[in-house]
A and B are shown apart, each in its own frame.
Chain A
Amino acid sequence: MNDFTNWDILRNLLLAVPWTVLLSAIAFAGGGIVGLILLVIGIGRRKWARRAVDLYVELFQSTPLLMQLFLVYFGLPMLGVDVSAWLAASVCLTAYSSAFLTGIWRGCVDAVPKGQWDGSASLGLSYLAQLRLVILPQAARMAIPPTVGFLVQLVKSTALASIVGYHELTKTAQILTNATFQPFIIFGLVALIYFVLCYPLTKLSRVLEVKLARSDR
């Protein structure tokens, strides 16, 4: 009933790419915003705030993303929120990325030498000014390579959204495989497409790391 040519296969796979990219972008942007908020809370002086953020990060880094996805997909309706696969995947990946990003960024803030804090304090800067003018800019530079590196992880993670039915690249591949039975070509193409999406980011992350390390000398 359905006769797919190779071009049909490639076309349908490529049509799914924007959905993968969209999910990644939303999760990265949303996660970035939430991560930033959590960062500010976490580097504050209140111990309980720091511990709470630590716990948040630990939870996401110590449980499978697939489980997080299932919990959101089946849990939110319990609170009365109607959840489509798309919404569940977006919410879940946003939370997931916020935890990892805040973990990375806090690590970078902590890596700023103590001397910087002391030096800026001796200049009479307030806590907020210390952060804004001295600490965060240095932390931000350090944070760029691993953040870009995490974006790669995020793009790959969108493949899990296929399991709850979101029609991104991997899900489309599965549907096409059964419609045409060419799993080798299809999964081969899919791997290639993910590679094309991710490798430039990986490369960028590495180039940035070298550049930033060099400029420190």
Chain B
Amino acid sequence: MGYEFDFGALAQYLGLFLEGAAVTLGLTVVSSFFGIGLGIWGAAVACGKRDWARKLIAAYVELIRNTPFIVQMFFLFFALPSLGYRFSALQAAALAMTLNLAAYAIEILRAGMQAVPAGQSEAGRGMGMRPLLVFGLIVLPQALANVYPALVGQITITMLESAVVSQIAVVDLTHVADFIQSRNFRSFETYLVVTLIYLVLAVLMRRMLVLGGSKLFLGRDP
């Protein structure tokens, strides 16, 4: 059975593809920023002294890591409104991605922090630095340098998993693909092109982040 490919039919949708890619990237950037921020805070708590706080963080991390992202997203978007919390599709998507990334970031950063020799923070405190400064200026940078590749990997994973937000009608790259092929019925060509766009985005993003990392952590192996 022959099938005639027609990639030309997609040319008119270039603008839409770009818009979709912009939404995907935008969501990734926002969720990376807040997710890693949350991750730093959570990891600090997880390395801290308060038992109940450590357990709470651990429970949160395990909950996120042992349930599918799509279920987390559906819960935020479809289930929370029945409790009175209604997020828009974009908000739900960003929130789900942030919370998801944060859980993994906590684990990654915790390992990174524990790998910083205790002597470092001891020396800092010995010099009279306040704990917060010790954390921010001494422990955190070294922790970040330790686990930077893992963080980059997790950000990439988050971007690729974001394809799923199309299911709650966020107009991301995948949703654009769904829309286009629902109009011209060229499903294979459309999905192939979009897959290639994701591939390019992922590879470029990883390269740029690694390059940025080597600049940030001069003198260390990122």
| Chain A residues near B (Cβ < 8 Å) | 59, 62-68, 70-71, 74-75, 78, 80, 152, 156-157, 159-160, 162-163, 170, 173-174, 177, 183-184, 186-188, 190-191, 194-195, 198-199, 202
Q: Which of B71, B161, B195 counts the most A-chain CB atoms under 10 A from its CB?
A: B71
- Minimum CB–CB distance from B108 to chain A (whole Å) comes to 13
Q: Find out whether the CB atom of B174 lies under 8 angstroms from the CB atom of A64.
A: yes
Indicate with 1 or 0, residue by residue over B60-101, a CB within 8 angstroms of chain A CB atoms.
001101111111101100111011000000000000000000
Q: Measured between alpha carbons, how far is A156 from B68 in the docked complex, in Å?
A: 5
Indicate with 1 or 0, residue by residue over B157-194, a CB within 8 angstroms of chain A CB atoms.
00011111011000000100100000000011001101
Segment from B34-42, B118-126, B130-138, B197-205 that makes contact with A: B197-205
- From B1, B66, B78, B191, give the contact of A187 (CB < 8 A): B78
Q: Measured between alpha carbons, how far is A102 from B198 in the docked complex, in Å?
A: 22
Q: Find out whether the CB atom of A160 lies under 8 angstroms from the CB atom of B70.
A: yes
User: Which A residues touch B198, using CB under 8 A?
Assistant: 62-64, 67
User: Which B residues touch A67, using CB under 8 A?
Assistant: 163, 174, 177, 191, 194-195, 198
Q: Measured between alpha carbons, how far is A66 from B163 in the docked complex, in Å?
A: 7
- Minimum CB–CB distance from B34 to chain A (whole Å) comes to 21
Q: Find out whether the CB atom of B161 lies under 8 angstroms from the CB atom of A64.
A: yes
- Minimum CB–CB distance from A157 to chain B (whole Å) comes to 7
Interface size on B, residues (CB 8 A): 40
- From B62, B70, B174, B188, give the contact of A199 (CB < 8 A): B62
Q: Can you give 27 contacting A-B residue pairs, CB < 8 Å?
A: A62-B206, A63-B195, A64-B163, A64-B198, A67-B163, A70-B177, A74-B188, A74-B191, A75-B191, A75-B192, A80-B1, A152-B65, A159-B70, A160-B70, A162-B70, A163-B167, A170-B68, A173-B71, A173-B74, A174-B74, A187-B75, A195-B62, A195-B66, A198-B67, A199-B62, A202-B62, A202-B66
Q: Find out whether the CB atom of A71 lies under 8 angstroms from the CB atom of B195.
A: yes
In the complex, the number of residue pairs spanning A and B with C-beta atoms less than 8 Å apart equals 115
- Minimum CB–CB distance from B117 to chain A (whole Å) comes to 19
Interface class of chain B by DSSP: helix
Q: Which residue of chain B has its CB nearest to the CB of A184?
A: B79
Q: Measured between alpha carbons, how far is A80 from B3 in the docked complex, in Å?
A: 10
- Minimum CB–CB distance from A92 to chain B (whole Å) comes to 12
User: Which B residues touch A74, using CB under 8 A?
Assistant: 187-188, 191
B31 within 8 A of A: no
10 additional A-B pairs beyond A173-B74, A191-B67, A198-B67, beta carbons within 8 Å, are A63-B160, A63-B199, A64-B198, A65-B161, A70-B191, A184-B80, A184-B82, A191-B72, A191-B75, A202-B62
- Minimum CB–CB distance from B24 to chain A (whole Å) comes to 10
- Minimum CB–CB distance from A193 to chain B (whole Å) comes to 9
- Minimum CB–CB distance from A7 to chain B (whole Å) comes to 20
- Minimum CB–CB distance from B207 to chain A (whole Å) comes to 11
User: Which A residues touch B163, using CB under 8 A?
Assistant: 64-67
